[in-house]
Every structure is written in structure tokens, then in C-alpha cells.
A and B are shown apart, each in its own frame.
Chain A
């Protein structure tokens, strides 16, 4: 008798690549580490991802340089390009790779963002995707016309209305308006092409959108927030989630939770892909990979970095402490978090007193210094092992519904993906769970998502 797992068709694994970011995952001190800003680095990274037949490249974004203790945080990579501009340039050096940009719904306006995504989609022949993020902080707002205008509790309401409005703009052209008949002199079939009116709590706009319908109709929509509101937003409106749960158990819990929310919105489970961010370390053998993994984690957490990370919890200046010494015996400052700005991470520590107590106990029991503690409690890489081990683990996680695939986050720019492309990808292909050639041309094709035109046609017909 065949078991349930054998009856179930094997899922195809989706893979994507996150350009190494501005946090301590990225090891800039490695001799192999190249530029984080030159186009050649981005081109190398994108070409590797395309060689490996990945679905897309993913770019994060932060609209103000992070600060700690009132000064620009200088221990991690600092500086990044403009998202739209770099993605569109990458469209020139790739043919199939999806191009996913993180764009903030707080410090932008729908008309401008919609025309940028529609333009990217045209200029890449249908490869654009938008990771919709929100922020509200006045710290970032200081770089923009309106300053910190948005109360925290309204950020999802603005994000939802922003996306709704952008979709109305994308849909304001249907794709058949441009006739361009030189004989009759008819360029446009319809003088009202692009007409829109949106009146809502956050946006009151009207007129004509000026970018005709792009190959994908709308960019693929990603969501990354983890709160209940964020998950609900994803279930209602997103095509894919960039999640943080790359372990088996956490991944399965998240997957079950979010996929379970889809029915409420009349959506099926294959209409929302769950793609956790995943770090990895490869070695010739599992033992060698473990060794490298430990070394990388030490590179990622210098003594100075360890002190700064402790400050996230303590919310105090701890620069007088020795990273090789014991943890501070003073308690965290429970007032408003002021030490680190421009970082979502600090909100993860909801009970700083308990975290501090727990960490002191751990350090005492294991004789850990501050730096040891930060290294040991920090995230281990999601996948550590030989190529065979990593391929098998990725496949098994996907088959076990911990995810639909992974967005890989290498720790070296720009070559950190090369070994994965050369060694793990062929093994996934041998297992029959990963494409050997791109079958379609658009990102929607790669992700198995319907073209939004079809969705609309079905609605019209029903």
C-alpha cells in the first residue's frame, strides 16, 4: 500500500536569490567580498541566479541609514542603490530572471510607483515584482516631504489602500488600446484609456494613468510582514510571502496558518507562495560545512557587533563593556526604544527583562562571553552541509509543506551564490523537483501564477 506522502505529487521547488543586505549576515570583511554598489556585482549575482534557473532576484530596501546611539551604524555594509533603477538595469543583462523590488507604501505615491513598476514590467518583458512594505517612523520620514506623517496603527490601512489604488491604475489600461494604425491615423482606440478615480481615506486622486498595460498586467505582489495584520494582508492581496521561517517546524506552522487564511478571500492554496529567506553554508562534506558555518558566524559577529546587538535588548549604551567579558548586570532600559533607529529587529524583543535574564543564565551556564552569547543565540544558517545534504533538506522541507521554496541569502557579495548554482541546483534537478530550463517568459510563469487578465475575465464571466 502506498503511503499518503507517495500519493501526493511531488511539489516543484521554487528558488530565488536575495542580494546580500545591510545587516551582519553579509560578511564584507571576507577577502572574497566585492563591491556592494558597483553594477558589476549586481550583474554577476543576477547572472548566477539566472544560470541556476532561479525564479527571481530580490532586493530589500531601507530609506534611511541605520543609526545607533545617535550615529550612523558603521559595522555592517552601508549603502545601496535605488531599487527601480538597479532592477531595470539588470533587465538588460538577464532574460528570464524575475526582478523583485521592495518598495515602501508610506514614503511613495501610487501614481509614481505604479508607473515605475509598469515601466519595469515593460522593460523586462514581464518580470517585475513588488514587495510591499510599510513603515511609519518619523526617523525615516525626515528624508521625505511629509515627514513622519503616518500613525503606526494606520500603516497597514495605508498599505492596503496603496496597493488597491496601484491595482486600479494597472488595470486602467486593458491592453488593447494601442492600435497604431498609420493608414487611418488611429493611435488609440479609446480616448479614455487610463482613466481612473480613487477616493479613499488615504488617497483622493483622479485622472489618466500614462503607462499602457504591461506584459504581466500587474507586477507579482510580495508581502513580508509577520504580524497578524501582515498575514491577513498577504492572504487577501499577495501572490507570495517573503517569510522568516526557514526551519521545518516554524515553517510548517507559518505555512499552515497563512494558507489557511486564503479561503476566506476566495483564494486557493496555490495562489499564494510561501518563500522563507534562507541562509546557507556549503562544504565538501557535512563536517566541513559545519566548520565553515562556525567560522562564518564568528565573522558575522565581531566583538563590536556583539555589543551593538546587546544594545538592541538593553536599549542602553554598552560601549564600555568588554565583548570577551561577561554580560552586563544592569537591567535593560524599558523606556521607549531610542538606542537603535531604522531597524525592525529591535521590536522582536518584546520582553527585554526576560531576554536579559535568559541570556545571563545561558552565558553563565556555558561560560560564554558577550560575543559567544550573541553568536550562539543568533540564527544558525538555515542549510548547512554538503551539496547532497542541502539539496535533500530543501526538497524535504518543501515536500513537508514548510514552504514552497526559498529565497537564498548568501553571505558573500557577489559570488556567494556561485557554489550553490554549480553544486546544489544540479542535484535538485536530478531529484526531479527543480526546472532544468525556464518554461515560460514572465515571472508569473515561473511562479505558476495566473495572469491577472484571466482572473478578471473569470470574474466578468461569473
Chain B
């Protein structure tokens, strides 16, 4: 079966690839901060983040994501480490995005929000406000946390200690299913809150003295297993109506979250065959969720080491691995090579059904400019990437229309 025959479910169709970069600390390699181009003492400054996002915007990228977590970074997936040789400490991702928003004009801003320990009401208005301060460029990447030590930072629920080797046990499956179901509820509550004001609710009718038409404000009345949210939001409907919701997914349970609730899923295939299989699974879940006719992007995540000489990229990876003391691996495929080689790979993966990519620069100071000044011109030469920003909103860049309000009378 060809890739295109599995597409009609509803990939937003575009001859162009969509490109995002994932920003985290000094880069995705644990030793990235030790490179001369890194600015490890500036990771908590506005200037550092402004420079990164400005560089991404220079490359006409669709958006940046900003990593976050409600605990210190760790080399272990599920528990803290006591390492002192890697970047530790970070700023709130939503606030980094807000700080950068007034200084950029086209690029989308997609901070991470951990949904397990936070309030849908707060996140809803925070992302709506990010959409206001960026005039329509906000998104959010929702993330669950199954980490027991992060739960202890809040003291509101107790999660069992989780070991990576137990991931397939029934108890852990039940826990993760519950956390992802909660995430889907969370996104539903957030989306209802964004719609809880109709676009024309503010009327300023001097004759009757009414600032709003309260018939256009709606209770969200969300009730789920873990929370209920009455609404309406205290923040009016944001410029995009619905800011873009995204999630990273590696297995069926999170694919289901993507299929039910997201506009973009980030997935981690290591080759075209895996990409095709993942896309098909997500499309099937999408149909099962009754969203077959809604656009849903599936982006591939790749860690990238980019150099004009492929040997240089490979050598850089080896050197960093040696500094780190172990070979860096992770969920996503690690690419080392030239911008032209990466362009080949992206086109091949796109053939398999991916509509875009979220690149994780191994060293931000090196590989982000290599994306914007090397990869992007290469993709432009091939006619598969934009020559200039064609829209003012993130939804616009992603080919998503501004959605109707679920509460608005359609009569």
C-alpha cells in the first residue's frame, strides 16, 4: 500500500514540509553545554532564548517547542540522578515563550505544559494569553508525568516508583492509560475554555450599559474522573480561536491521545517503514475517535548533528559522547550528516506519511544555525519549503483554518 493511499483520513495537505525545532537547554546532547558555541551560563536569561527563537524565525520555521518538566532534568527517564556534569535547572516554558513573543513576529511558540499536576483552568488562560501576546502564534505541547518524585513536589497524589523495565507490566499500563486519559480530559477542558467566549461576546453597548453579551459566554461544565471545570474562562477567546495542541507519542496509548485531542503528534520512527506503520496506527485511532475529517499533523522527531562534511558531524557526535561518558541515545533517531543528506531523509520520511519534522538540535549553538542556514536553503532549492512566511498565525502556517466556536449558535 502506498503512503498516499493511507493519507486521506486527514493529513493537512501541502506540497511543503513543515519544520519545527525543539529547544532544550544547550541542546539535546547531554554534553552540548561543553561546546565552545554553547552559552551554558546564559541558559536562564531572556537574551539566550530570544537569540534562539530569532534564529529559528530567520529560517522561516513553523514553530519552536520549548521543553519543560516539574522537576530537575535527569539522565534517567523515571527518577532523579545526582549528576553534576549536565545541565540542571530551567525556566518555565510558557513564560519563556511569553518573553520571546513580543520580539518575534511570525514563528509559532509551543511551550510544554505538564498536565498531570497542573490546573486546566490556569493553562488554558496562559496559552490563550500567549496567543494574545504573540497575536496568534501560540500552541502547547501537553505532557504527562508518571514520575513519583515529581508527584512528591506537589503532594496531591502519590504515584508508584516507576522502573523503565516495568513499562509493560499491567500495573504500569493501567497507570499510564489513566494518566493519558486524564491528559485527553485536560485538553478537552482547555479547548472548551478557549471556546467559552464567542468571538463577538464583547459588545460595549453603551445604550444598555453592557460590556459583554452574556449569552455569548458559556459554562464549560467539564466533568471527568480527575477534575471538573465550570467556566467560562476569565480570558476571552484567543486570536486563533483554538491555539495548536500537540503531544509527543511513542506507543498506542499516547497515539490515542494524539488522535483524540491534538493538532500535531510528534513521533519517533527510525525508518520509513516505522513511520508508515505509526501514521497508519494514528489514523486508525483518529477514525475510532470520530475525528477522521479533522486535520492532524504527524511530525517525525529527529536529533540532528549537521555539518557540511558528514565525517565532521559523526566525529562531533563521538567527541560529545566521549565527554558525556556514554553514547547518547534516546527515543528519537539520531542523524549525523550534511544538510543535503538530512533533506533526503526528510523527503523519504515524508513519503511515508509524515507532514513535518521536529528537529532536536544536538548542540543548539551549532545545529540550530545549521538547520536555518543549511537545511532550509537546501529544502527551498528542492521546492519543498516556504520562501517566506505565508501566514500570520501558527494555525495559518500549519494549514489549519480558524475553527468555528463549538458553543456558537450555527443557525
Contacts and interface: CB of A to CB of B under 8 A. Distances in A.
A74 B210 contact: yes
B386 interface: no
A297 to B, nearest CB: 15
Nearest to A180: B40
Interface residues of A, number: 76
Interface of A: 28-29, 37-39, 43, 62-65, 71-72, 74-82, 84-86, 88-89, 91-93, 107-109, 111-112, 115-116, 118-120, 122-125, 142-145, 147, 173, 177-178, 180, 182, 185-194, 203-208, 210-212, 302-305
A347 B303 CA distance: 58
Given A72-B212, A111-B154, 19 more contacts: A28-B204, A29-B209, A65-B217, A65-B234, A72-B214, A74-B210, A75-B209, A82-B235, A85-B94, A85-B98, A85-B125, A85-B126, A145-B119, A173-B89, A182-B36, A186-B84, A188-B88, A211-B90, A211-B91
B276 to A, nearest CB: 38
A147 B80 CA distance: 32
A115 B118 CA distance: 13
B322 to A, nearest CB: 11
Interface in B123-157: 125-126, 128-130, 132-133, 135, 149-150, 152-156
Nearest to A169: B153
B206 A29 contact: yes
B345 interface: no
21 contacts: A29-B209, A38-B132, A72-B232, A78-B217, A80-B235, A81-B128, A85-B98, A89-B99, A92-B102, A112-B117, A112-B118, A119-B95, A122-B91, A186-B84, A187-B88, A188-B89, A190-B84, A207-B71, A211-B92, A304-B208, A304-B209
Contact of B234 (A80, A147, A205): A80
A202 to B, nearest CB: 9
Contacts of A80: 234-235
A189 B156 CA distance: 31
Contact of B153 (A28, A188, A192, A205): A205
A78 B339 CA distance: 51
Contacts of B130: 85
A11 to B, nearest CB: 34
Interface stretch (B221-229, B256-264, B281-289): B221-229
Given A111-B153, A112-B117, A143-B230, A88 B98 contact: yes
Contacts of A188: 84, 88-89
A115 B92 contact: yes
B85 A187 contact: yes
Interface string B153-174: 1111000000000000000000
B99 A205 contact: no
Contacts, number: 227
B88 A74 contact: no
Interface stretch (B41-49, B265-273, B392-400): B41-49
A75 B226 CA distance: 35
Interface in B283-311: none
**A-B residue pairs, 7 tightest by C-beta:** A142-B230, A180-B40, A89-B133, A85-B129, A119-B92, A82-B129, A81-B129
Given A75-B209, A88-B98, A208-B72, A122 B234 contact: no
B85 to A, nearest CB: 5
B101 interface: yes
B119 A144 contact: yes
A91 B50 CA distance: 12
Interface in B194-213: 197, 202, 204, 206, 208-213
B121 interface: yes
Interface of B: 31, 33-36, 38, 40-41, 44-46, 69-73, 80, 82-92, 94-96, 98-103, 117-119, 121-122, 125-126, 128-130, 132-133, 135, 149-150, 152-156, 197, 202, 204, 206, 208-214, 217, 226-232, 234-236, 323
A37 B226 CA distance: 31
A178 B226 CA distance: 38
B257 to A, nearest CB: 19
Contacts of B232: 65, 72
B121 to A, nearest CB: 5
A302 B209 contact: yes
Contacts of B102: 39, 43, 89, 92-93
A62 B234 CA distance: 8
A79 B200 CA distance: 13
A114 to B, nearest CB: 10
Contacts of B129: 81-82, 85-86, 89
A74 B90 contact: no
B231 A187 contact: no
Contacts of B82: 191-192
Nearest to B49: A123
A303 B102 CA distance: 40
Contacts of A82: 122, 125-126, 128-129, 235
B216 to A, nearest CB: 10
Nearest to B90: A210
B337 to A, nearest CB: 25
Given A123-B91, A207-B153, A191 B84 contact: yes
A29 B207 CA distance: 10
B153 A75 contact: no
A81 B209 contact: no
A267 B198 CA distance: 51
Given A111-B153, A122-B45, A188-B88, A74 B213 contact: yes
Contacts of B96: 119, 123
A135 to B, nearest CB: 13
Given A119-B95, A123-B46, A145-B226, A194 B89 contact: yes
Contacts of A84: 92, 94-95, 98, 126
Nearest to A85: B129
Contact of A194 (B38, B72, B212, B228): B72
B122 A91 contact: no
A41 to B, nearest CB: 10
A206 B152 contact: yes
A235 B363 CA distance: 49
Contacts of B217: 65, 72, 78
Contact of A37 (B35, B117, B126, B132): B132
Contact of B132 (A81, A124, A207, A210): A81
B33 A74 contact: no
B34 A185 contact: yes
A75 B121 contact: no
A85 B41 contact: no
A271 to B, nearest CB: 28
Contacts of A38: 132
Contact of A116 (B46, B69, B95, B152): B95
Contacts of A142: 228-230
Of A43, A91, A173, most buried by chain B (CB within 10 Å of CB) is A91
